[in-house]
Copies of this chain bind each other. A is one copy, B any other.
Amino acid sequence: MSFSDILKQVVNGTEGALGALVVGLDGISVEEFSVSSEIDLQSMTVEYSSLLIEIEKGSQTADMGSTKEVTVIADKAMIMLRRLNNEYFFVLVMKPEGNFGKGRFLLRMSVPKLLKEF
């Protein structure tokens, strides 16, 4: 299954999903699938990838081990970031009223599938 197919599956399976991406820690996206032009996925991702690096530093400093998942709920969107490996992570963007639990479940289920493609 290709990156693109996996992203489609997660987005189409999650009520209220706006898009999904596979992104490097440098903020450059490898693959992107979006069903909405409401949100600028690219610019959002650049912002959040640097945050993920900061959060990782924070987790290490606080002796909590490596960060696996980060969720941000803002007024206009929910973002889930799931680490794939040392260099890449998976991002799912949803509407605030989207199905959070379903998105989280599909995101987690797709990690092994995505890792096969690296």
- A residues sitting closer than 8 Å to B (CB atoms) are 39-40, 43-44, 47-48, 50-51, 54-55, 58-59, 61-77, 79, 101
Q: Which residue in chain B gives the minimum CB-CB distance to A67?
A: B74
In the complex, which residues of chain B have a beta carbon less than 8 angstroms from the beta carbon of A77? Answer: 64-65
Identical chains bound together, number: 2
Which residue of chain B is the closest to A101 with respect to CB atoms? Answer: B101
Contact for A72 among B47, B50, B67, CB less than 8 A? B67
Complex contact A48–B40 (CB within 8 A): no
Q: Is the CB of A58 within 8 A of B67?
A: no
CA distance A51 to B39 in the complex (A): 23
B51 near A64 (CB under 8 angstroms)?
Answer: no
